[in-house]
């Protein structure tokens, strides 16, 4: 079994009634937070081109999201393996970049420096969270003027993904958000606006779906 957990999530556009609907469904408020994410890649974008997302999240530390080896989820959801242990993160980075780990890279900052990774995105998210059973709902507002919400489940093994996926999509539907439009995450919009060449490079890859042009631009009223 791979290290780390598998995140099953579906993003949606929150509406003015989303929090009332969450309360009516029995979801419990799980707090508010504000954090900065810094994302890193090689100058020639070899991590993100391989769908690997290394970030330093304020208050949480280093995290690496990478595609798990499984059947692609339906269009309305994504699954990513989430690594948080320094050893697992550095091992995976070295694997993707084809580099042998060096002593001193047992902590992520050493490997980031040694591998020549550079920051390519930095933004602050204000988040309100809810819990319902094993699911979590996050209502995010990014400081570059984009709001997005997500229903998320974390599972420990690949065989648990189908059930989690069904639960995630069921809650999304219960929140009245079962439209066919794929809602882009914060990073897609950030890249489109602030790193358009990086975004275009990723669009050339088969696994990237273009962010809908209908994506809301200013959505602070939604959360
Ligand atoms: C998977 C991914 C990224 C990592 C962070 O993704 P996300 O879950 O959207 O962020 P957030 O803040 O909600 O994290 P959480 O708190 O749930 O852990 S960044 C980009 N992607 C995917 C992706 C892609 N492959 N290509 C493009 C153009 N955009 C986004």
pLDDT tens-digit profile of 119-148? 999 999 999 999 999 999 999 999 999 999
Q: For residues 178 and 57, which has the higher predicted lDDT (pLDDT)?
A: 57
Query: Is the confidence at residue 222, as pLDDT, over 60?
Result: no
| CATH code assigned at 103 | 2.40.320.10
State the pLDDT at residue 34: 98
Query: Is the confidence at residue 205, as pLDDT, over 90?
Result: no
- Confidence tier at 180 by pLDDT (50, 70, 90): low
| Ligand 1 mean position, distance from CA 93 (Å) | 17
| Ligand 1 mean position, distance from CA 180 (Å) | 20
Query: Is the confidence at residue 56, as pLDDT, over 60?
Result: yes
- Ligand 1 atom nearest the C-alpha of 125 is 12
Q: For residues 74 and 153, which has the higher predicted lDDT (pLDDT)?
A: 153
State the pLDDT at residue 7: 94
Question: What ipTM score was computed for the predicted complex, to two decimals?
Answer: 0.94
> What is the residue-wise DSSP string for the chain?
--SSEEEEEEEE---TTHHHHHHHTTPEEEEEEEEEEEEEE-TT-HHHHTT-EEEEETTTEEEEEE--SSPPPPTT-EEEEEE-SHHHHHHHHHHHHT----TT-SSHHHHHHHTT-EEEEEEEEEEEEEEETTEEEEEEEETTTEEEEEEEEEESSGGGHHHHHHHHHHHHHHTT---SPPPP-HHHHHHHHH-HHHHHHHHTSTTPPPPPTT--S--GGG-
Q: For residues 91 and 206, which has the higher predicted lDDT (pLDDT)?
A: 91
Domain count, the chain: 1
191 close to ligand 1 (CB < 6 Angstrom) = yes
Mean pLDDT value across the chain: 89
| Ligand 1 mean position, distance from CA 78 (Å) | 9
The domain containing residue 30 runs over which residues?
5-222
Query: Is the confidence at residue 26, as pLDDT, over 90?
Result: yes
pLDDT tens-digit profile of 35-52? 999 999 999 999 999 999
When pLDDT is averaged across residues 152-172 and rounded to a whole number, the result is 93
Pocket test for ligand 1, best of 187, 206, 212 (most atoms within 8 A of CB): 187
| Ligand 1 mean position, distance from CA 223 (Å) | 19
Query: Is the confidence at residue 208, as pLDDT, over 70?
Result: no
């Amino acid at each position: 079994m791979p290290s780390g957990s598998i995140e099953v999530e579906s993003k949606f556009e929150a509406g003015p009634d989303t929090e009332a609907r969450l309360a009516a469904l029995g979801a419990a408020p799980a707090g508010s937070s504000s954090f900065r994410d810094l994302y890193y890649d090689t100058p020639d974008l070899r991590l993100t081109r391989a769908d690997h997302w290394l970030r330093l999240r304020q208050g949480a530390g280093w995290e690496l999201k990478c595609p798990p080896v499984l059947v692609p989820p339906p269009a309305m959801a994504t699954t990513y393996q989430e690594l948080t242990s320094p050893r697992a993160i550095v091992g995976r980075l070295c694997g993707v970049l084809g580099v042998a780990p060096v002593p001193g890279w047992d902590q992520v900052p050493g490997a980031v420096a040694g591998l020549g990774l550079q920051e390519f995105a930095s933004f602050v998210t204000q988040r309100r969270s809810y819990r319902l059973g094993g699911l979590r709902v996050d209502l995010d507002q990014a400081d570059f003027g984009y709001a997005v919400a997500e229903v998320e489940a974390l599972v420990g093994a690949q065989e648990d993904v189908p059930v989690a996926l069904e639960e995630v999509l069921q809650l999304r539907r219960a929140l009245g958000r079962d439209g066919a439009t794929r809602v882009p995450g914060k990073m897609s919009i950030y890249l489109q606006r602030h790193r358009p060449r990086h975004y275009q490079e990723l669009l050339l890859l088969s696994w990237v779906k273009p962010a809908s042009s209908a994506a809301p631009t200013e959505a602070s009223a939604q959360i």
